[in-house]
Amino acid sequence: MLSWGSSTEYRKVAEANRRYYAKTAELYDQTETCVTDAGAQAILEAELDQVLALLGRPRDQIAALDACGGSGNVSLKLLRRSVATTTCDISVELLRILQKKSAAEALTPTLVCSEVADFLRLCPGRFDLVVFSSALHHLADIDGVLDLAIASLRPGGMIFTAFDPTPAGPRYQRLIAWVDYLTFKVHRQPGDLLAAAGRRARRLLSGASQGGDKQGLAMNDANLGVLAEYHVERGIDDLALVQRLQAQGVEVVWHRRLAGGRYTPTRALLRSLGAVTSFKLLLRKP
């Protein structure tokens, strides 16, 4: 068993995720871009094929973990490829959605309802592949969880991460992202639009801005989403993260920096401006 000393802040953010998805699991599964967008799905399918090929092991002999796997965006794809897959998530509501989907296809994931670090510390040397899809930015301690994930790998095992934000760019880039998000709320989540505006108003009135220091945020309905999406506004310093992992002897097979967005015009505009908004990593344990 590996030692894991989570902070009070880490536990608060984990609990915010549990409460947030207890309220929004169905909405997330039905509308979130990384789950529902055909283009994003096609890219993810191709990338998983690349990852499995690079892993170089028979698919039916691979043990995979979909860490913070939610409603199974990655788990179902791995299971369809005959990869034995464990899905760990803190939200029982999201796991129930995955259970229904997998049963409809006669697929059998191993479902674990747990905070991801608590689970990983019990699994040294257990997995060949660990995937974090739209997950790292939900964690208050990314470095600590990745260290646990690396320890959970067998020699030569791999970690694949996707759908995480890079550090916030210049003001024009943040404006484009805001318009993209507002369009998404109007287009895909109109029923939540007024409620979202109300939550934002309550945060502003309380002096808690979305881009500020979240360590002082109280655990309440107005703040749950902001705490759950812990690194979204500021982003993750992926360059520093890669440097740290390489210093530990982890091989960075790929580090892809992308101009992302929920809609094609957004992505095209950001690419034309040379912007980078998200990153993906493929890591190999020696």
Would residue 1 count as lying in a domain? no
Would residue 96 count as lying in a domain? yes
Report CA dihedral (163, 164, 170, 173) to the nearest 10 degrees: 20
The CATH number that applies at residue 242 is 3.40.50.150
Measured at the CA of 205, the angle between CA 204 and CA 209, to 5 degrees, comes to 25
Q: Please count the CA atoms within 13 angstroms of the CA of 171 that sit on its side-chain side.
A: 0
Q: Determine the average pLDDT of the residues in 15-21.
A: 96
- Which residues are paired to 33 by β-bridges? none
Give the pair of three-digit tokens for residue 251. Answer: 């091989």
Kindly tell me if the per-residue pLDDT of 3 is higher than 80: no
Share of the chain above pLDDT 90, in %: 80
Residue 147's SS3 state is helix
**pLDDT, tens digit, 9 for 90 and up, residues 52-110:** 999 999 999 999 999 999 999 999 999 999 999 999 999 999 999 999 999 999 999 99
Would residue 159 count as lying in a domain? yes
DSSP 8-state class, residue 231: T
Would residue 125 count as lying in a domain? yes
Phi, psi of 74 (to 5 degrees): -90, -40
Give the pair of three-digit tokens for residue 76. Answer: 């179902």
Whole-number pLDDT of residue 198: 80
Measured CA to CA, the distance from residue 148 to residue 118 in angstroms comes to 9
Alpha helices in the chain (DSSP H): 8-31, 33-36, 38-55, 75-80, 92-104, 116-120, 142-151, 171-188, 193-205, 224-228, 238-247, 264-272
Kindly tell me if the per-residue pLDDT of 156 is higher than 60: yes
Would residue 183 count as lying in a domain? no
**Number of structural domains the chain divides into:** 1
CA distances from 286 to 97, 153, 249, 254 (A): 36, 10, 7, 15
Whole-number pLDDT of residue 2: 60
pTM: 0.93
User: For residue 157, what are the domain limits?
Assistant: 8-168+231-284
Would residue 191 count as lying in a domain? no
**pLDDT, tens digit, 9 for 90 and up, residues 179-238:** 998 898 898 999 887 877 887 777 776 655 545 568 778 888 888 999 999 999 899 999
Kindly tell me if the per-residue pLDDT of 242 is higher than 70: yes
Would residue 180 count as lying in a domain? no
Share of the chain above pLDDT 70, in %: 95
Would residue 3 count as lying in a domain? no
**pLDDT, tens digit, 9 for 90 and up, residues 128-146:** 999 999 999 999 999 999 9
